[in-house]
Structure 1
Amino acid sequence: MKRRNVWKGVVIGAAAGAAFSLLFKKEEKQDRLSFPMKLKQWRQSIEEMEEDVGFIMKKIKDIAEKTPEVIEIAKEVYNWKKDDRPRIK
């Protein structure tokens, strides 16, 4: 299984779980709400989660794009001679 499929499944599963937990949350205030109001809240929650998932996916993409560059820098630093390495105080 590809990494993208795994992450996509994790994100979708988390979003679905959060939506269901918000929809079926038992509190006095929500028990008094009508079904259309619950649907409106559910829709707002889904829209917020959609924005959050988009942000997270963008950050994952950014990390994936930077990873080869970071690995190359780490290899260069590792291959420096001991005398050439910068001193960290």
Structure 2
Amino acid sequence: MIGAAVGAAFSLLIKREEKQDRLSLPMKLKQWRQSVEEMAEDMEFIMEKIKDIAEKTPEVIEFIKEAYSWKEDDRPRIK
């Protein structure tokens, strides 16, 4: 998943650079660095969300086990 995100961002970066061939090298490097920084921030956000999901998974599994073990008459009714 991480590789796909990096590949997609790199592909978009190359397309953007093709349109901006007339820019100077320092300008291109500055834009490339900015893009890399944005990707790093995005990856940090994604990794934080994955960590949150991993922390919540045991709680969700336990709740499902408890709900499944209830007698049918004791289960909450959803209308």
TM-score, normalised with respect to structure 1: 0.77
Task: Give structure 1 stretches of 5+ with no counterpart.
Answer: 1-9
Name 1:40's counterpart in structure 2.
30
Highest relative contact order (Cα 8 Å, sep 6+), 1 or 2?
2
- What is the aligned-residue RMSD (CA, Å)? 1.5
- Aligned residue pairs: how many? 77
Task: Give structure 2 stretches of 5+ with no counterpart.
Answer: none
Which residue identity lines up with residue 19 of structure 1 in the other structure?
Answer: F
Which residue identity lines up with residue 43 of structure 1 in the other structure?
Answer: R
| Segments ≥4 residues shifted beyond 6 Å | none
Q: How does 1:9-88 map to 2 (within 5 A)?
A: 10-12=1-3, 14-19=5-10, 21-22=12-13, 24-25=14-15, 26-27=18-19, 30-88=20-78
TM-score, normalised with respect to structure 2: 0.86
